[in-house]
Amino acid sequence: MTYNTSEIMKTAWKNTRVMMKVMDYWPRDLRKVFAVQLKAAWKAAKKATGEAVRTAKEISFQIMRLECKDTLQVSDFKKLDDLRAAHRAAFAREATETKVAA
């Protein structure tokens, strides 16, 4: 799997500039702010490619497994919301892929 590293770096620098200006950081904090933004950009890129690979069926199994737990924590509700959004996106993607193939 390949990532567009140029796009990741551009996103990280853009977010760093915004954070430096909005939060009024000192110039000496540039490295720390950039490190945080670069990690966030990589995480977003990995999440985007990971969601594109999962099928709607796989996601529905994960949703079912969470819903069948005896007790749900606050983090479980957040995860359920994310999984349901990913399921809708995967379902729509698979529907368009089958229309194109037909």
For residue range 18-42, what is the model confidence (pLDDT) as tens digits?
A: 999 999 999 999 999 999 999 999 9
CB atoms within 10 A of CB 9: 14
How many residues make up the chain in this entry? 102
Share of the chain above pLDDT 70, in %: 95
- On the question of pLDDT at 52 being above 90, the answer is no
Predicted TM-score (pTM) of this structure: 0.53
Inter-residue contact 76 to 66 (CB < 8 Å): yes
Task: Please give the full DSSP string across 45-94, using - where no structure is assigned.
Answer: HHHHHHHHHS-HHHHHHHHHHHHTSSS--HHHHHHHHHHHHHHHHHHHHH
Average pLDDT, the chain: 90
The pLDDT, as a whole number, for residue 51 is 64
The pLDDT, as a whole number, for residue 65 is 94
Inter-residue contact 38 to 68 (CB < 8 Å): no
The pLDDT, as a whole number, for residue 9 is 97
CB atoms within 10 A of CB 100: 7
Task: Kindly list the domain boundaries of the chain, sorted by start residue.
Answer: 1-53, 56-102
Return the sign of the alpha-carbon dihedral for residues 26, 31, 36, 41: positive
What is the rounded average pLDDT of the residues 64-78?
A: 93
Q: Residue 4 in 3-state DSSP?
A: coil
